[in-house]
Structure 1
């Protein structure tokens, strides 16, 4: 299977999840707007969700996958099964103890770390604590699920791990439908969503567990012991967790600061949902697929293939994220209006969320490039260097957010996140080049500037189109007209972009077809280092 097809497999599952996520956020915006229940839910959910990304996705995609792949190659499936059971025993025990400790400390943690700005509203603070207590066990399900997803990715079975997150949004959409028809008040909707998150965690864990058994690896429980392999995993996982979850760390910090202003937390989360669509489809797909493929090439001593994988992945991210960033920056307001402006979500909310979304669009390429650059370190079992850069990024994010939030509100936090993302991406790339782990690639150097120009041209074109169609996007215009107008602008922008990028030489259909058909380990003709994805 070619690299592009693997990206597509993971990306398709992520896209389906994001589509249902949009449905969920649209329904939540209509039901709760940016009011106190929405603030409490988003702040509470951010807590376990950040832990999940730090200790599950970040740590295990970075540390567990290469070690599990080594066990398969060295000792076969039996050795990999033993290793996974050793890890499972330790992981489950640690997660259980962490969950118990956090449940006991939840009022203190929420009050002083997660939502300090809610201190002046005891009712909102109490609801946030209650929701966080309900949802925190979600961490156990998702961390164990991330471990099993890492196993599936190492076994080249990407679909189950990609499709499992869809069920979080399916279940929450179902909860909102029941709440709508049941006439629930705001607080009841928030509590129902909290229990829905926990139920979704159980379902997602069940899906990947069944898939792992179907792949021929049945996991039993072993008494937790710090074996040499487990110690090696933990040594790699701690810095990898911080590095892999840098975007989530910055988001958590931003959420804590945003609790100081009414409506800022849901405004950030609703904008985050929109830009997570391209970030999830491209960034997550690249990060999930590239790490095991790069680790395998380096273990085989195939540096040419490793360099090709890295350059093609960056080219792939630029090809898709630069036009997405241009679109988010130029037409953020009509996007937010069509998606959210109804029910409790008011026109003034649209202005704030669209401003946040436009700023997130500026940072989008950086967030995706981080996903493409970090496997270059993780595959070489260097998790310390990206962790240092992540720490620098967090420090920048906190400093800029504290500086800008008093005057700008939620857009100030988005600006801090974008600045921190670009600094992190720049540091990662610079050190890879200096170490000789990123070779010069003629194809990437030729096509990247042309992709940038095509994206800028498309951004200008859709800006003019929206300006011309302003009556169709007015707040008083019926939803179906706004939606049709936005769909026309997006479709027209896609046609314009592809015509521009191919016309300028930023991409070539013939070489793209050869890459899609290329099998693993098979060079595509004599231009292996210059083929685009």
Structure 2
């Protein structure tokens, strides 16, 4: 399977998860709206979910895969099994201890890290079904956090098992596992609707659903590992050179790989000072995460093993080619997505969320945040492209410095801009910090001679931008022509039809322009088409 085929495998599985995630968010918005229970659930879920994104979506792999691959090559499968068992046993003990301590001291964590705004809250908020005092909101956030915190342990262990699968070039199981979370939460929301549960009960049910999903996801990747003919043993943790080296690499890698989630976590903590702002940020994050997850995660998971193999074999030209084609692939998919999300966020949000407890007055607020997030979409995907250039060489210090600068800038900007623009200020801070991080990573590679931009990348990148702008111009014209169909008074069926037309026509024009302008490798498209026809004939 070639590089683009591997991107498609992981990206397709991630897309499946994101589609179910859309369904989950739509149902949650209808059930909870922009209110205190939604805020409490999102705040409680953000902390363990931060670690899921840090570990499960490539950061742990950035440290683990090169060491595991080296052990597999030098010591054989037996040595690799001993190495993996050492790491697994240590992770299990550390995570169990961390979970117990966190559950005991959860009120302090919520008050100081997760939602400091709740500690100084002085109002009572009406959810539409019941009034909830600030003290109750704080207690609810603590309770939901305690229920969901073990999810962190499940995801961290899953990350290690996923790293083993990725090292054996088995990407699908780890990529599709997050879908279980969305399926289980959708089932929970359907049950809550069936029994007519109130908002607080829904929050509790969803929290237990998150925990059940964590256990299920871990079980899935463990089963996939066993089917691959590999297993790990749980033993007494020991301090070894392998463990020491992993920790040296994993800490910075987790920070670097999870910068998007770290920025969002900081943003939500600051947003907790304004009722409803946390939910607004979360609802805007879901449409933005669809292209980010599909492209960014696929590149982050696949690119690192490919680069590591090329560099270990001394194939520097192949490594440069892989990096440039990955960047080309990222620009090809993210630039048009960023343009579209920036230009038509309100119709998207209205069609996805505006029903049930999600009041129409919340749509402009969520849409404005989505538009600002969209401007940072290419940056966060580029981070996924640039980071493996360091990780494959076992250099985590350089990107860690860039990430720390970006994280500090995000925190300062969020505090300052929140005072003037509320949740929009946080979204703008996240976007600016993302571009700062991507720029610093690229400069680090370029100055050290680790990335040489080829002419094909410059040419195709410029043409992709031109095609994206042409698509954007079409969207602006169509927005004006279809304005009567994109308002609440037109009804959901007309809004949905108009939005579908906007998306379909924009995609058609964009892909037509890229082919016409030569923004894509036409020979690659022909090979893909021939490959599909060949597989279809074989299936017959």
Q: TM-score, normalised by structure 2?
A: 0.94
| Secondary structure, counterpart of 1:83 in structure 2 | helix
Map of 1:206 onto structure 2? 219
Q: 2:344 aligns with which of 304, 325, 331?
A: 331
Q: Distance in 1 between matches of 2:507 and 2:49?
A: 33
Instruction: State the Cα distance separating 1:441 from its structure 2 match.
Output: 0.7
Report whether the alignment pairs 1:190 with 2:203. yes
Instruction: State the Cα distance separating 1:477 from its structure 2 match.
Output: 2.0
Map of 2:277 onto structure 1? 264
Map of 1:294 onto structure 2? 307
Q: Distance in 2 between matches of 1:321 and 1:103?
A: 39
RMSD value, Cα: 1.2
Map of 1:319 onto structure 2? 332
Report whether the alignment pairs 1:510 with 2:523. yes
| Secondary structure, counterpart of 2:489 in structure 1 | coil
| Secondary structure, counterpart of 1:17 in structure 2 | helix
Map of 2:451 onto structure 1? 438
Q: Distance in 2 between matches of 1:281 and 1:55?
A: 17
Map of 2:462 onto structure 1? 449
Q: Distance in 2 between matches of 1:193 and 1:443?
A: 48
Map of 1:530 onto structure 2? none
Report whether the alignment pairs 1:420 with 2:433. yes
Map of 2:115 onto structure 1? 115
Please, which moves more after superposition, 342-351 or 48-57?
48-57
CA contact (8 A) 1:83 1:229 kept: yes
Instruction: Map Cα deviations across residues 367-392 of structure 1 (whole Å, 9 max, x no partner).
Output: 00000100000000001111111110
Map of 1:252 onto structure 2? 265
Q: Distance in 2 between matches of 1:486 and 1:378?
A: 41
CA contact (8 A) 2:57 2:300 kept: no
Q: 2:496 aligns with which of 475, 483, 486?
A: 483
Instruction: Map Cα deviations across residues 266-285 of structure 1 (whole Å, 9 max, x no partner).
Output: 11011101110000000000
Report whether the alignment pairs 1:375 with 2:388. yes
CA contact (8 A) 2:54 2:60 kept: no
Q: 2:513 aligns with which of 481, 496, 500?
A: 500
Instruction: Map Cα deviations across residues 246-291 of structure 1 (whole Å, 9 max, x no partner).
Output: 1111111000000111111011011101110000000000000000
Q: Distance in 2 between matches of 1:150 and 1:433?
A: 28
Q: Distance in 2 between matches of 1:513 and 1:206?
A: 40
CA contact (8 A) 1:450 1:504 kept: yes
Q: Distance in 1 between matches of 2:530 and 2:150?
A: 43
| Secondary structure, counterpart of 2:394 in structure 1 | coil
Q: Distance in 1 between matches of 2:314 and 2:21?
A: 41
Instruction: Map Cα deviations across residues 42-94 of structure 1 (whole Å, 9 max, x no partner).
Output: 00100111133335545412100111111122122222111110100111111
Map of 1:84 onto structure 2? 84
Map of 2:102 onto structure 1? 102
CA contact (8 A) 2:43 2:115 kept: yes
Q: Distance in 2 between matches of 1:128 and 1:90?
A: 30
Instruction: State the Cα distance separating 1:508 from its structure 2 match.
Output: 3.2
Q: Distance in 1 between matches of 2:24 and 2:430?
A: 24
Instruction: Map Cα deviations across residues 469-527 of structure 1 (whole Å, 9 max, x no partner).
Output: 01111112221221111111100000010111122221132234447989xxxxxxxxx
Q: Distance in 1 between matches of 2:135 and 2:530?
A: 59
Instruction: State the Cα distance separating 1:122 from its structure 2 match.
Output: 0.8
List gaps (5 residues or longer) in structure 2.
Answer: 122-133, 532-540
Please, which moves more after superposition, 58-67 or 407-416?
58-67
Map of 1:40 onto structure 2? 40
Report whether the alignment pairs 1:4 with 2:1. no
Map of 2:124 onto structure 1? none
| Secondary structure, counterpart of 1:500 in structure 2 | helix
Q: Distance in 2 between matches of 1:7 and 1:516?
A: 16
Q: 1:166 aligns with which of 174, 179, 183?
A: 179
Map of 1:273 onto structure 2? 286
Q: Distance in 1 between matches of 2:39 and 2:329?
A: 36
Q: Distance in 2 between matches of 1:361 and 1:477?
A: 27
Q: Distance in 1 between matches of 2:56 and 2:333?
A: 27
CA contact (8 A) 1:286 1:313 kept: yes
Instruction: State the Cα distance separating 1:218 from its structure 2 match.
Output: 1.3
Map of 1:62 onto structure 2? 62
Distance 1:510 1:502, change over 3 A: same
CA contact (8 A) 1:40 1:124 kept: yes
Q: Distance in 2 between matches of 1:225 and 1:11?
A: 37
| Secondary structure, counterpart of 2:488 in structure 1 | coil
Please, which moves more after superposition, 457-466 or 30-39?
457-466
Map of 1:529 onto structure 2? none
CA contact (8 A) 1:338 1:479 kept: yes
Instruction: State the Cα distance separating 1:232 from its structure 2 match.
Output: 0.7
